């Protein structure tokens, strides 16, 4: 049965290749976007049967990929989302998966994986490519690590920035928030993950946590 697809990636050549795959299986591309802002503008006024999107794109008001996925879910809760990404960090892939996306495929996968994923999502099924599944299966399950879906997009971003070397003060300056607010959000996020202190947070990251 024919279905419609909206494509999102900041690289035109990637969108061109994706459009060819959509055409190959007999579906229809109803539009394209090169940023999260363009995607959200489309979804605020239009719909499609399947959304195919990159995760990391240029800076936008959505801040990061997790925030973008949350915004998509708010606009169209039932829209099947296929995330196509170069990410190889198991912890971040798990965070994406836990956001409720219907499909997750690596950009290093073959084109057949994209076709199978599109057809699966159009049939209201889930799809995770073998390569991504192997990364997820290799992730050590620490106490609390299954709670990544409970993190807000901002909490996940704060933890990731902290893990990557920024101080709480630097994060506060970047986010234009008080140090107290950022510190509280960091502690809240760690509590959700069952992490008691910074060494446990770093250990979590080293074993496949949220650092991207």
Co-location of 42 and 113 in the same domain: yes
Q: Is residue 32 part of a domain?
A: yes
Co-location of 195 and 157 in the same domain: yes
How is residue 98 written in tokens?
């836990």
Q: What is the mean pLDDT of residues 16-40?
A: 96
Q: For residue 42, what are the domain limits?
A: 4-137
The pLDDT assigned to 141 comes to 53
How is residue 110 written in tokens?
């073959």
Co-location of 118 and 21 in the same domain: yes
Taking alpha carbons only, the member of 4, 156, 21, 2 closest to residue 79 is 4
Co-location of 68 and 161 in the same domain: no
Co-location of 152 and 197 in the same domain: yes
The pLDDT assigned to 144 comes to 45
Query: Would you say residue 25 has pLDDT above 90?
Result: yes
Q: Is residue 124 part of a domain?
A: yes
The pLDDT assigned to 104 comes to 96
Higher pLDDT, 166 or 1: 166
Distance (Å, whole) CA 61 – CA 37? 7
Global pTM reads: 0.69
Co-location of 83 and 172 in the same domain: no
Last residue of a domain, one of 137, 166, 190: 137
Q: Is residue 212 part of a domain?
A: no
Number of domains observed in the structure of the chain: 2
88 neighbors 135 (Cβ within 8 angstroms): yes
Q: Is residue 66 part of a domain?
A: yes
Least confident of 31-45, 62-76, 166-180: 62-76
Q: Is residue 211 part of a domain?
A: no
Q: What is the mean pLDDT of residues 122-150?
A: 75
Confidence grade of residue 145 (pLDDT, cut at 50, 70, 90): very low
Co-location of 131 and 48 in the same domain: yes
The pLDDT assigned to 143 comes to 47
Higher pLDDT, 67 or 83: 83
What is the total residue count of the chain?
A: 212
Co-location of 43 and 74 in the same domain: yes
Any residues with CB less than 8 A from the CB of 20 and at least 6 apart, and which?
none
Q: What is the mean pLDDT of residues 45-49?
A: 96
Q: What is the mean pLDDT of residues 129-149?
A: 68
Co-location of 86 and 114 in the same domain: yes
Q: What is the CATH number of the domain that holds 113?
A: 3.40.50.2300
Taking alpha carbons only, the member of 126, 133, 88 closest to residue 107 is 88
Co-location of 107 and 174 in the same domain: no
Last residue of a domain, one of 116, 137, 158: 137
Q: What is the CATH number of the domain that holds 202?
A: 1.10.10.10
Query: Would you say residue 59 has pLDDT above 60?
Result: no
Higher pLDDT, 80 or 146: 80
Query: Would you say residue 212 has pLDDT above 50?
Result: no
Tens of pLDDT, residue by residue over 173-210, are: 988 889 999 998 898 888 877 777 887 787 777 665 55
Q: How many CB atoms lie within 10 A of CB 129?
A: 21
């Amino acid at each position: 049965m024919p279905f419609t697809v909206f494509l999102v990636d900041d690289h035109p050549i990637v969108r061109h290749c994706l459009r060819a795959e959509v055409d190959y299986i007999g579906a229809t591309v109803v539009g394209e976007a090169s940023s999260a802002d363009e995607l959200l503008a489309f979804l605020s006024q239009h719909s499609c049967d399947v959304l195919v999107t990159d995760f990391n794109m240029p800076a936008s008001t959505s801040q990061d990929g997790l925030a973008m996925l949350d915004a998509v879910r708010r606009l169209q809760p039932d829209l099947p989302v296929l995330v196509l990404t170069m990410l190889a960090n198991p912890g971040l892939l798990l965070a994406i998966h836990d956001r409720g996306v219907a499909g997750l495929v690596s950009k290093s996968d073959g084109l057949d994986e994209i076709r199978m994923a599109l057809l699966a999502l159009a049939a209201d099924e889930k799809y995770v490519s073998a390569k991504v599944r192997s990364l997820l299966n290799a992730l050590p399950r620490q106490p609390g690590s299954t709670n990544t879906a409970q993190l807000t997009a901002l909490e996940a971003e704060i933890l990731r920035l902290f893990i990557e070397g920024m101080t709480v003060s630097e994060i506060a300056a970047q986010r234009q928030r008080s140090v107290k607010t950022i510190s509280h959000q960091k502690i809240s996020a760690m509590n959700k993950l069952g992490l008691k202190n910074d060494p446990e947070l770093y250990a979590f990251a080293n074993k496949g946590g949220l650092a991207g």
